[in-house]
């Protein structure tokens, strides 16, 4: 599905840390963006999970943009300190 999110909102979303992991318990992939949204998404394949997470992030991103209030980014800052940038 093609994104309808504005470039400005997408640029803000790109700053948030996200991850996808396999759940042995649930037998699905689970995607989360903890600083951006409290819940997560799940799907049977990694690519389906990536798409579901992208769409969920865009939905909440549009809401944050309308309110002019975005949550603080904390996990991306921690990740950058743990994993040095590749030159």
Distance CA 75, CA 16 (A): 8
Question: Which residue has 């995607």 as its token pair?
Answer: 31
CB burial of 53-70 (b: ≥16 within 10 Å; e: otherwise) equals bbebbbebbeebbeeeeb
Task: State both tokens at 57.
Answer: 């992030």
pLDDT number for residue 11: 94
List the domains of the chain with CATH numbers: 7-78 (3.30.160.250)
pTM: 0.82
33: exposed, middle or buried (C-beta count within 10 Å: 0-12, 13-18, 19+)?
buried
Tens of pLDDT, residues 65-84: 999 999 998 876 666 655 55
Band (49; pLDDT cuts 50, 70, 90): very high
How far is residue 5's CA from residue 78's CA, in Å, rounded to a whole number?
Answer: 27
Per-residue pLDDT at 81: 57
């Amino acid at each position: 599905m093609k994104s309808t999110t504005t470039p400005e909102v997408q640029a803000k979303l790109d700053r948030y840390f996200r991850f996808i992991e396999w759940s042995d318990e649930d037998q699905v992939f689970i995607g989360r963006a903890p600083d951006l949204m409290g819940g997560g998404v799940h799907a049977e394949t990694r690519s389906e999970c990536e798409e579901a997470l992208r769409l969920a992030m865009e939905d909440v991103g549009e809401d944050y943009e309308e309110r002019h209030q975005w949550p603080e980014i904390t996990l991306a800052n921690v990740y950058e300190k743990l994993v040095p940038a590749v030159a």
